[in-house]
Amino acid sequence: MDVCLVNMPLASLSRPSIALGVLKPMLARAGIAARVLYANLWWVEYVGARHYATFLAPRTEECLIDWLFAGAAFPDFAPDHDAFLDMLFINHPDLFGEGEPAGRALLLELRAQMPDFVDWTARRVLEHEPRIVGCTSTFQQHVASLALLRRIRELDPSVATLLGGANCETVMGRTTHASFPWVDYVVSGEADGLIGDLCAAILRHGSDVPRDLLPPAVFAPAHRRDGYPRVDSGDGYARGTTADLSTVPAPDYDEYFFDEVHRFLYRDFVRPGLPYEASRGCWWGAKSHCTFCGLNGGGMAFRSKPAEQVIAEIDGLVDRYGSRRISTVDNIIDVKYFDSVLPHFAAAERKLNIFFETKANLKKSQVERFKRSGVNWIQPGIESMHSECLRLMRKGVAAWQNVRLLKWCRQYGVFAFWNVIAGFPGERDEWYAEMASWLPLIEHFQPGTFSQLRFDRYSPYFTRAADYGLALRPCRQYAHVYPLSPQDLADQAYFFTEPELALVKHLPERPGTRAVLDLMTRWKPHWPQLRKLELVHDGEATFVLDTRSCAKRERHPVDATDLLLLDACDAAIGDAELSDAVQAHGLAADDVAAHLAALLDAGLILRLDGRLLSLVLDRPEAYAPGIEFPGGSWLYRNRSAEHAADRDANADDALDPVQGA
């Protein structure tokens, strides 16, 4: 075998790695044989499903998995474990459901076992006799990957080691390469356009490829001797970019579906999804980079595959692997797909279950097209319900658009992942008090989560920190994971904090923010069965059924004028537009004003941002019964898993930062 590509923990059990799935056919084009190995599945067999579910609870920046593997990656590094665990258990006092002392003891025991797991994994990889071993690293895969590559080097120094992924972008990749000499090559940015030539050169020259054969976005042993190449953009280090996405093939998931999952000890608990990439970059971010968004590294430019290629590749993946769950990894859907890709799947006899990320300013017809084409799940980038907060984010939408989209998603039975992020520089607590005053009116829509702002590398808050008055520093957990100097740690980290903006610290001083948190915490348990606001036509009369907690009555009788107003306000319009809309019906202005006032008083219409939006649903479509998230599902449940899934039901745990798109 020429190349083994390894997916280390922590990575989803219920879907294969799209990064490695794409690299494999790219290597095949270059005549290089590659195999993808799913060590993340092996690890769960090693630690047990009960413990795996618990590892999903801590936030990514809390570095729990990195800390677990740090002893294997850096055996001579002795951080303060008590200090690390103190930070962890402050946020998760009942992490394992058995109390903090038992949880601490278990984590220390598992950390002590990781060198054995890494050794076993390395020997299993080397059984394939690879000449190159590469790992992909995103979020909490970095230290586990470093540990594996270190052990590979110790067991067989002739094998070249390779690392890439989001954790290796630009200065992070340079720092990894300069600090950990057992990693021969680090790829910064998109690897698919260069992986074939790079691995061909490594197969010819081993661990010392001449500099003139190296792409600019690759850090190699020669750079440790002669210095690292610099560029005049970003943070000074290059990243690979694939300009033409039509050259990127459909991913190859054969090992995951045909080998790994079938042998997986917990295969009965896995419902696999199919990751697919139709585009890269963000067309909105290229116009107005959201202040908190660190996605895409230095490559915001939007590129997408031709519609016919997307259709053929998705159909091909479904045919080959049998799963109809398609989870696109795009930052944002190409709007051209509404008139090309989606109609194909709407008309197809075989119905799929698809996930897309999108912008929140969708038209009603676009939401309906989502539903008809099988896009049952979306992430629309809703991060606030106040327009002033959204301006701070540079989201390019207003609060009324976010509410309108949630309404239309509920109308058509489309799941929408959304949250309220709090803690932005310059925000005011009074904005949250305003949100709290009307949020109960929409509790019949799908609930979101409440999150604290996180500062990510590559976001405007990071790259222009001084402009926002920020003094950012790496999250404290990194110092207990990496044996690096403060400067190298700052160059390695992806997640940063601003202590003075810590929301938990200031929450007692912010009654408006606390009110929003409390409302959103109580929202989920009562939705959707107990909260409705719907038109009911019983044959003799029409009324609005209202079971919201804020309802002034359960039945609101409505007449023709009320129905006209509700229909006119379906898409959110201004007072002048409403006046124009009703004039054609010959209604008296005073009569219209009285009806509108009554509908506003009953909370059937919301006035927001100078617009009037009807909140009433008209025979809403049910969500597809038993439908699962297209990204795949992990069905193993125990006390810890249930705690992890429902952590936002606790007021303190609800401050879990889930950064939006």
pLDDT band at residue 655 under the 50/70/90 scheme: very low
Q: How far apart are CA 139 and CA 581, in angstroms?
A: 51
Q: Which CATH architecture has domain 533-618?
A: Orthogonal Bundle (1.10)
Task: Compute how many other C-beta atoms are within 10 angstroms of the C-beta atom of residue 62.
Answer: 21
Provide CB contacts within 8 A for 399, sequence distance 6+: 384, 385, 386, 387, 390, 608, 609
* Averaged pLDDT, 346-357: 96
Q: How far apart are CA 437 and CA 515, in angstroms?
A: 9
Omega within 30 of 0 (cis) for the link into 10:
yes
pLDDT at 648: 31
Q: How far apart are CA 165 and CA 142, in angstroms?
A: 9
Q: Looking at residue 259, what DSSP letter applies?
A: I
Q: Looking at residue 25, what DSSP letter applies?
A: H
pLDDT band at residue 651 under the 50/70/90 scheme: very low
pLDDT at 645: 35
Instruction: Answer whether 656's CB lies under 8 Å from 58's CB.
Output: no
* Averaged pLDDT, 58-82: 96
pLDDT at 174: 97
* Averaged pLDDT, 462-482: 96
Position 422, amino acid: A
* Averaged pLDDT, 16-35: 98
Helix 64-73 with 100-126: angle, nearest 10 deg:
50
pLDDT at 617: 97
Instruction: Answer whether 132's CB lies under 8 Å from 162's CB.
Output: yes
| Helices of type H across 417-506 | 429-438, 460-463, 486-492, 503-506
Which H helix or E strand runs over 1?
none
Q: What is the pTM of this model?
A: 0.93
Instruction: Answer whether 257's CB lies under 8 Å from 272's CB.
Output: yes
* Averaged pLDDT, 614-641: 83
Q: 490-521 burial string, b = 16+ CB within 10 Å, else e?
A: bbbbbbbbbeebebeeebeebebbbbbbebbb
Q: How far apart are CA 227 and CA 288, in angstroms?
A: 35
Q: Worst-scoring range by mean pLDDT, 40-54, 332-346, 573-587, 644-658?
A: 644-658
| The length of the chain, given as a count of residues | 661
Which H helix or E strand runs over 455?
strand 455-456
Q: What is the torsional sign of CA 205, 207, 210, 214? A: positive
Q: How far apart are CA 496 and CA 518, in angstroms?
A: 26
Exposure of 597 by Cβ count < 10 A (0-12 exposed, 13-18 middle, 19+ buried)?
exposed
Mapping DSSP to helix (H, G, I), strand (E, B) and coil, where does residue 249 land? coil
Instruction: Give the alpha-carbon dihedral of 140, 517, 377, 637, to 10 degrees.
Output: 60
Q: What is the torsional sign of CA 207, 209, 211, 213? A: negative
Instruction: Answer whether 242's CB lies under 8 Å from 305's CB.
Output: no
Interval 188-228: pLDDT, tens: 999 999 999 999 999 999 988 999 999 999 999 999 999 99
Instruction: Answer whether 132's CB lies under 8 Å from 2's CB.
Output: yes
Domain boundaries, the chain: 3-240, 533-618
Exposure of 463 by Cβ count < 10 A (0-12 exposed, 13-18 middle, 19+ buried)?
middle
Does the structure show a pLDDT above 70 at 150?
A: yes
The percent of residues above 90 in pLDDT, for the chain, comes to 85
Q: Give all strands (DSSP E) within 103-178, no chain letters.
A: 132-136, 160-164
Q: How far apart are CA 361 and CA 380, in angstroms?
A: 9
pLDDT at 524: 86
Interval 529-549: pLDDT, tens: 789 999 998 877 899 999 999
Phi-psi region of 206 (alpha: psi -120 to 50; beta: other; left: phi over 0): left
Q: 159-187 burial string, b = 16+ CB within 10 Å, else e?
A: bbbbbbbbbbbbbbbbbbbbbbeebbbbb
Instruction: Answer whether 338's CB lies under 8 Å from 371's CB.
Output: no
Interval 299-344: pLDDT, tens: 789 999 999 999 999 999 999 999 999 999 999 999 999 999 999 9
pLDDT band at residue 182 under the 50/70/90 scheme: very high
